[in-house]
Amino acid sequence: MTIIQTAPAPYKTFEFIRTETIESLGIDVTEYRHTKTGLAHYHIAAEHTENVFLVGLRTVPEDSKGVAHILEHTALCGSERFPVRDPFFMMTRRSLNTFMNAMTSSDWTAYPFASQNRKDFYNLLDVYLDAVFFSRLDQLDFEQEGHRVEFAEPNNPESELEYKGVVFNEMKGAMSAPVSRLWQSVTKYLFPTTTYHHNSGGEPESIPDLTYDELIAFYKTHYHPSNAVIMTFGDIPAAELQAVIEEKALARFDKLEESIEIHDEKRYYSPLRVEEGYELDQEDTSGKTHHVLAWLLGHSNDLEEQLKAHLMSRVLLDNSASPLRFALETTELGSAPSPLCGLEDSNREMSFMCGLEGSEPQDADAFEALVLSVLAEVAEKGVPVAMLEAQLHQLELHQREINGDGYPYGMSLLMSSLGAAINRGDPIALLNLDPVLEKLREAIKDPDFIKGMVRDLLDNPHRVRLTLRPDNKLAVQRDAAEKAHLAKIKANLSDAEKQTIIDRAAALEARQNQDDDESILPKVTLADVPDDLSVPEPTAVASSLPYVRFDRATNGLVYQQVIIQLPALDQDEQHLLPLYSHLLTELGCGDRSYQENQQYQTEVTGGIHAFASVRGMPDDEQHVKGYFTLSGKALVSKQAELTDLLKETLTGARFDEQARIKEVVSQQRTRKEQGITGHGHALAMMAAAAKMSPAAALAQATKGLESIRFYKALDDELKQAEALNALSERLSHLHQKIAQAPRQFLMVAEEEHQDQLQHYLETCWQSVAASSTDLFSLPPLRAQVKQAWVTSTQVSFCAKAFATVPVEHPDAAALTILGDFLRNGFLHRAIRERGGAYGSGAGQDSGEAAFRFFSYRDPRLTETLDDFDASIKWLLDTEHDEQKLEEAILGVVSSIDKPGSPAGEAKQAYHSSLFGRTPEQRRKIRSRILQVTIDDLKRVAKTYLLDAEASVAVVTSQAQAETLGADFEIIEV
């Protein structure tokens, strides 16, 4: 790290505080302060054209009514300079953004965006600043986004009252997930007096208690520059940004006298043990209990203490060689370690948690004794120093890696340091781990280092043991209580108050139906779209191996992949592919047991993993190809070890560790069951399209709802020793088929390292023979689905799919645009605003040749399915503005052009080419998309959607499923 004394001068209303160069990341980070309001501005200067902006506000709720969350939604529903009903969603389609969102955490609310286009960046900055600091906060928007009561039958005051609202339904869906309930319950007891005690998202039972006046009061104190932090990243100079921020917002504010603070939590003098229930709509509740032990630690702002805590957490829990994780994986008290295992450092004070799922309530004492005994052993004996060194290696690798595949790289840097900025710590220090890592390298030489940390944990009395048990009566009781409360409200209503409810509903509907003057919002146009699609190209090399190389700026990391053509597989082997892929890097290798192998992986790599890819061809979705990939990354100093490890894994993986196989199956079953409501819309779409193509059918069987049933059945079978022996043999046989199939190699690294990497790769793999084999194929498939998948949920997830065409077909481009056009013009208003669902949309999946509608966390079911059809009718019966077409095209193109990480872009380009999606082909599709007309949209809708036999799949509750027609197959997940 280099400390710089000077930096580019700030704008005149800001003062310079300090700047640092972080050489390991190639960035300069500078802190400024707005002289009048005290707002902090942290700017990361980097040679990146993808500029990022974030304004974060300290939001500190004092209850679980969801005020911060509902305010986040409502603030985006119109502002002083942009008094339209929905500027946020309007801007998503008038922009070339690479990221737009708003989010509420436990103690902050953030409004971030990113764009590669300078004009677009300033457009979004204008809208975001006005939305945050000059929000209109119309009461009707509060009722739409937050909560309201309406009569079940419009205009009929004799019908029942119902709660409605986007956040209300979102949190019903969120809190249907057992892990969300688990987290909220743990923090409730771990933080008895501070803001973290409350559910910042809002508890569904408490949200209706929030008043509009409370929302306004919260906004006035919390949404003020004195309570805000602005963070920026990219190649736009800080002073240029500050001039705009001053003009558009800060000039109108004085310093806020009131200071929003989060105080330290009051500490327990002895551990607390509690038990609560969660909703599970199943007869058999055995093996569904969660246990968690959680400790409150020190301040997250202290970087050295934070990294020490991370090191302790990783040593105890990172992998199967870690003592506490090993105990949780192998105990008979439960099926898998809890998702709540590790260090939580986003709050003002850190917490360390470990837990077990798939247990029974009566095992709470035994679980606690197990954890404490493992910790006591570590406190007495310590762990090998190699384990500490390996985890420091992981922290260094994580620090150096340039990510950005799921999230803009600059955004990830800003978000990683936002918590420190919000809690008035040092966000710059959090970006520069190198000095503290050097300190820790010295500290771990002390044999008592880890012993002392674990001893302090054992001696810490601020400990909570939570047991969360399933209760299959809770949902019925909750629904009855809600209905009784609404009935009581209705009984006390005067005729005038009933009419007011009807009038408010009509006013909201009128507001939702109004056509705003969108011209007041800034926009980009198709003229601002780059002419070409940037796709990395490999460097031509001569090699004795089938080898592809990409020279990319990876900041000292190497990415290697071994890509194998999938051999012909029978149906059982196809269904085992995901399990085999997961186990390949989780089991032992050669002479190393699975624990030794995982420890070795941690010492020399940033992780290795395997996955299978099966896709339809660009011109025929019924013709599929399949590849199996073994992938790893490492620091360039460890490239030889990575190459050797990938080879050893493919040639020496062992499937004789049957107890470990059984553990992994149980863990995978539990994870899949717990993830249903978090991914319900994706699972519903997968089910709806499951018979559109052979690849779609395989995806449903191996990744979708069918795979959950597969893992449940397999887990139950493995209670018999013969079944476990048979599975071990089947996996070993599958491995031999894959290991002997033709293979090729991919290397992504900086140019100066490539020759050495290639030489070692060729030396290592030259002697490993492959043989030709029959290649993977699947029989053609195109049929209809009508299914209702039943699980424990308060909301539904709906999907409808129509058979269409693959990506090479000329109509694929229009179908791709059609998805955004229907969402923007009809679905968002009908399903989200009026219907109250958290989200909805439509899109063409050209790989499966299917057009799919979906809704997410939806209080409705059949009405939403009808709205999908109504959107088609709206398209065909309405004269449409060319501007709306341009907005849909912009949305699609911005997603196509969205940048990834240097390594991620190279890997995507390579794997796309394997399936015929070459750079030339991708550019051709992009060109077609830019030429789509409204007539094209109507034509493809008539051809593929109107009067066509649709496939439908929903994820819902048993009660909701029973409202569907008799032609639906009802399936319990």
- pLDDT for residue 6: 61
Asked if pLDDT for residue 737 goes beyond 60, the answer is yes
pTM of the model: 0.93
- pLDDT for residue 282: 86
User: Could you tell me where the beta strands, DSSP code E, fall in 348-424?
Assistant: 349-359
Q: Mind listing the pLDDT tens digit for each residue in 824-834?
A: 999 999 999 99
CB proximity list for 836: less than 8 A, separation 6 or greater? 164, 165, 166, 168, 169, 858, 859, 860
Asked if pLDDT for residue 4 goes beyond 80, the answer is no
C-alpha to C-alpha distance for 943 and 934, rounded to whole angstroms: 14
Q: Span 672-699, mean pLDDT?
A: 95
Asked if pLDDT for residue 641 goes beyond 80, the answer is yes
Asked if pLDDT for residue 406 goes beyond 90, the answer is no
CATH superfamily of 547-765: Metalloenzyme, LuxS/M16 peptidase-like (3.30.830.10)
Q: Please, which pLDDT band fits residue 936 given cuts at 50, 70 and 90?
A: very high
Asked if pLDDT for residue 667 goes beyond 80, the answer is yes
C-alpha to C-alpha distance for 603 and 318, rounded to whole angstroms: 12
Q: Span 100-121, mean pLDDT?
A: 96
User: In angstroms, what CA-CA distances link 757 with 238, 545, 747, 911?
Assistant: 40, 13, 8, 21
- pLDDT for residue 404: 80
CA 483 to chain centre: 34
C-alpha to C-alpha distance for 491 and 45, rounded to whole angstroms: 61
Q: Mind listing the pLDDT tens digit for each residue in 879-931?
A: 999 999 999 999 999 999 999 999 999 999 999 999 999 999 999 999 999 99
Residue, of 209 and 404, whose pLDDT is higher: 209
Helices 571-584, 721-739: axis angle to 10 degrees equals 90
- What DSSP character marks residue 443? H
Residue, of 632 and 433, whose pLDDT is higher: 632
Q: Span 449-458, mean pLDDT?
A: 97
Q: Please, which pLDDT band fits residue 771 given cuts at 50, 70 and 90?
A: confident
Residue located via tokens 């020759």: 755
| Terminal Cα distance for the chain, rounded | 53
Share of the chain above pLDDT 70, in %: 99
- What DSSP character marks residue 818? H
**Contact between 56 and 424 (Cβ < 8 Å):** no
Give the CATH number of domain 786-972: 3.30.830.10
Average pLDDT, the chain: 95
The yes-or-no answer to whether 547-765 and 786-972 have a common fold is yes
Asked if pLDDT for residue 580 goes beyond 50, the answer is yes
- pLDDT for residue 8: 80
CB proximity list for 876: less than 8 A, separation 6 or greater? 938, 941, 942, 946
Domain boundary assignment for the chain: 547-765, 786-972
- What DSSP character marks residue 267? P
Residue, of 24 and 203, whose pLDDT is higher: 203
Beta-sheet pairing, 743-749 with 547-551: parallel
Q: Mind listing the pLDDT tens digit for each residue in 490-528?
A: 999 999 999 999 999 999 999 999 888 989 999 999 999
DSSP H or E run through 751 = helix 751-765
Asked if pLDDT for residue 433 goes beyond 90, the answer is no
- pLDDT for residue 965: 87
